[in-house]
Amino acid sequence: MNTTLPSIFVSHGSPMIALEPGAAGAFMGTLGPAIDRTFGRPRAIVVASAHTTAREPVVLAGDRHHAIYDFGGFDPRLNQMRYDAPGAPALAKQVGELLAKAGIVAHSLPQGGLDHGIWTALKYIYPAADVPIVPVAFVPSQPPAAQFALGEALAPLRDEGVLVLGTGSITHNLRRVFADGLRSSPDKPEIPESAAFREWMHSKSAARDWPALMDYRRQAPHAVDMHPTDEHLLPWFVAAGAGGRDNAAVRLHHSVTFGVLGMDVYAFGPQAKALEAALG
């Protein structure tokens, strides 16, 4: 494979997406085949997830991965689901070297494990679990600019057939999501605050307004309401950094569950438009 890949951000939503795919799960089911048709099957995936974080960056260099059930109170069938995927220790070493070259000190652990933000999304994107994975833990206390820089350090991997993936949520206020309990209806109409925030993200990313995006907590409408804490949006900046600041982001999918949990998917880099076209 010699085609450069776009980088991608997916909103993984509630763990229940693994059982109730909705519009976002259905879309992600088309994403892997579209990537394969357009660019060829990725040789590996380097992924930053909202649920794999640390005080300093950490590269998980295990040779095997399994699903981690890092949640509680949901349908017990989730705990029976598996996603056993290969790791990529040699690629993990390369990731550490790229981060070091960019001045980012990262640790390496010879262990595996995929949090639910990773495996519930990849269950649809690559259901056979046959693409090697390298999770990278980021530092959630660091600002969007630091996550963008982490993504920029990973950008050379895109030229080597590696998919750089961020997984989080474009909006993420669990107090609002579960105001009526864990079995709240996923089909609620979207609240205006969520719609305004998602549209701001869409317009600013299409315009490559990186200063505004990196200052989203002050500039975006309802930012603190939609993200009481940063960690679910920060993987968006990792994927954006990997795509490069000279390229506009392309929103490939947009939908909402529970009236407030945005499920938008973005692609970054010069190849993003080709992926959009392949998806129809």
Q: What is the pLDDT along the chain (280 residues), one digit of tens a residue?
A: 558 999 999 999 889 999 999 999 999 999 999 999 999 999 999 999 999 999 999 999 999 999 999 998 889 999 999 999 999 999 999 999 999 999 999 999 999 999 999 999 999 999 999 999 999 999 999 999 999 999 999 999 999 999 999 999 999 998 888 777 656 677 889 999 999 999 999 999 999 999 999 999 999 999 999 999 999 999 999 999 999 999 989 999 999 998 999 999 999 999 999 999 999 8
Identify the pLDDT of residue 174. 84
β-sheet bridge partners, residue 137: 58
- Which pLDDT score is estimated for 178? 74
What confidence score (pLDDT) does residue 182 get?
A: 56
Give the pLDDT of residue 181. Answer: 62
Of 74, 87, 85, give the one whose Cα is nearest residue 15: 74
What burial letters (b/e) apply to 222-233, b meaning 16+ CB within 10 Å?
bbebbbeebbbb
Task: Give the whole-angstrom CA distance, residue 116 versus residue 92.
Answer: 20
Q: What is the pLDDT of residue 2?
A: 56
Provide the token pair at 106: 């990262």
What is the DSSP code (8-state) at residue 97?
Answer: H
Predicted model pTM: 0.96
Please give the single-letter amino acid code of residue 8: I
Return left, alpha or beta for 202; rule: phi > 0 is left, psi -120 to 50 is alpha, else beta. Answer: alpha
Query: Which residue is it, tokens 């719609």?
Result: 195
Residue type, 231: E
Task: List the one residue out of 186, 168, 159 whose CA is nearest residue 53.
Answer: 168
* Domains with residue ranges and CATH for the chain: 7-279 (3.40.830.10)
Q: What's the confidence (pLDDT) of residue 189?
A: 92
